[in-house]
Structures are given as structure tokens and as C-alpha cells.
């Protein structure tokens, strides 16, 4: 009973993080779903092997490792840009934007552009960036998840920020042209 409750709670707490991290890493929904499913099944199989405090880190570490394994085994071309646009449609809750289609279009492009730019970051700096900026993990947690030194986490996040800015600037320059 408590095991079921533990698993149920862990899934509810972390499934979104797992899925979204996998989406950024795998760059397509199908593979991200496969990874997510595998992580949750492994969590169930190992539910007694980790304590409550270690659960979050264990699940994300498993997600990251599975993503790396998948990427190594199945080297696919990035065919999913169109798919990404459909999947990553941003819901606009802001009424001001809804009444201003031009502004709305800009916002959609910006969100999707940024997501695409994040996806295109090199894996080494993308992982800590996604975990820190989007999943709100702390440096120490990221260090354990990715099994890299704390300072490397800080440096890679900084590099990712710079790289992202560079990509967006290139995109903006192209749009102006």
C-alpha cells in the first residue's frame, strides 16, 4: 500500500520533468515517450531500492542515461522540426496578446524558436541548462544527476546561456534579412 502510494506520488511529482527533459534531449515525441515510459517502469521495479530523498535524482539520472543510450544507438536526423511546431504550440492565456495577432505571432515564434535553439545546443551544455533553467534543479543535484563536478555544471550552464544567445541573435539577424 505504501509502496503504491510512494510510486504514485513520485510519478505525479516527476513525470512532467522526465518527459520534458527527454523531449529536449531526444528532439522528437516518440523517443521521448519511450524514454519516459522506460524510466517510470524502472522506477516501479526499483521502488524499494532508493529512499524518498534520492528518488528525484535517481529518476532524472536514469532519464539522462537512457537518453544518452538512445541517442547513441539510434542516430536519427532531426526530421521533427515540423512535428515540433505542432507539438510545441504555446497556449496563449494573455488576453492582450489574443487581441493582438501580430504580437501573438511574435510570441509563438519566440517560444518555438527558443525551444528549437535549446534543442540544438550541444548535449554537454544542454543537459545542465535544461535541468537548471527549465526543471529548476540545483547545481548540486545536477552534479549528481549528470555525474560531473559542481564547477563543470556552473561553467556549462554559463556556456549554454551564451550559446543560446548567439543562436537567437543569428536567427534574429536572418529574420531581418
Partner 1 sequence: MQMKESNKLDNKLINKIIKVAYGDADIFSWVYIRLKSLTNKEVKLILEEYRQTANVVHKLKQEDIPEHINERIKSVTGITDKSESLFASFSYRIFSFFGSKAIPAAVIGILIIVIVSIFIFKEPSPPHKYSKAEIELAQRQFQKSLAIVGSAFQKAEKRFSDEILKNQINKNLNRGYYLVNNILIGG
Note the residues at the interface with partner 1 (CB under 8 A).
1-2, 4-9, 11, 13, 15-17, 19-20, 23, 29, 33, 36-37, 40-41, 44, 52-53, 87-88, 90-91, 110-111, 114-115, 118, 133-134, 158, 161-162, 164-165, 168-169
Give 18 or 146: the residue with its C-beta nearer to partner 1.
18
Burial 70-92 (b: 16+ CB within 10 A, else e): bbeeeeeeeebeeebeeeeeeee
Distance of CA 43 to the CA centre of its chain: 19
Cα–Cα distance, 40 to 79 (Å, whole number): 27
Give 134 or 148: the residue with its C-beta nearer to partner 1.
134
To partner 1, the closest distance from the beta carbon of 95 in angstroms equals 16
To partner 1, the closest distance from the beta carbon of 151 in angstroms equals 13
Q: Which residues contact 140 (CB under 8 A, 6 or more apart)?
A: 150
The CA–CA distances, whole Å, from 162 to 102, 118, 119, 153, 166 equal 28, 11, 14, 14, 6
Cα–Cα distance, 58 to 43 (Å, whole number): 9
Give 141 or 146: the residue with its C-beta nearer to partner 1.
141
To partner 1, the closest distance from the beta carbon of 40 in angstroms equals 5
To partner 1, the closest distance from the beta carbon of 42 in angstroms equals 11
Give 5 or 176: the residue with its C-beta nearer to partner 1.
5
Give 72 or 176: the residue with its C-beta nearer to partner 1.
176
Least Cα distance to 32 among 46, 41, 22, 42 occurs for: 22
Least Cα distance to 80 among 126, 22, 121, 27 occurs for: 27
Amino acid at each position: 500500500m505504501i509502496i503504491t502510494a510512494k510510486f504514485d506520488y513520485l510519478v505525479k511529482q516527476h513525470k512532467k520533468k522526465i518527459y520534458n527533459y527527454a523531449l529536449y534531449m531526444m528532439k522528437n515525441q516518440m523517443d521521448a515517450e519511450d524514454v519516459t515510459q522506460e524510466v517510470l517502469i524502472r522506477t516501479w521495479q526499483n521502488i524499494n531500492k532508493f529512499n524518498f530523498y534520492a528518488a528525484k535524482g535517481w529518476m532524472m539520472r536514469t532519464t539522462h542515461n537512457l537518453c544518452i543510450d538512445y541517442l547513441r544507438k539510434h542516430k536519427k536526423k532531426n526530421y521533427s522540426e515540423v512535428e515540433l511546431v505542432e507539438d510545441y504550440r504555446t497556449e496563449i492565456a494573455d488576453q492582450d496578446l489574443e487581441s493582438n495577432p501580430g504580437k501573438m505571432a511574435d510570441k509563438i515564434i519566440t517560444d518555438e524558436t527558443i525551444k528549437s535553439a535549446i534543442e540544438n545546443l550541444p548535449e554537454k551544455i544542454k543537459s545542465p541548462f535544461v535541468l537548471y533553467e527549465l526543471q529548476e534543479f540545483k547545481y548540486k543535484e545536477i552534479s549528481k544527476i549528470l555525474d560531473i563536478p559542481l564547477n563543470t555544471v556552473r561553467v556549462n550552464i554559463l556556456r549554454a546561456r551564451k550559446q543560446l544567445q548567439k543562436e537567437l541573435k543569428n536567427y534574429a539577424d536572418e529574420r531581418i534579412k
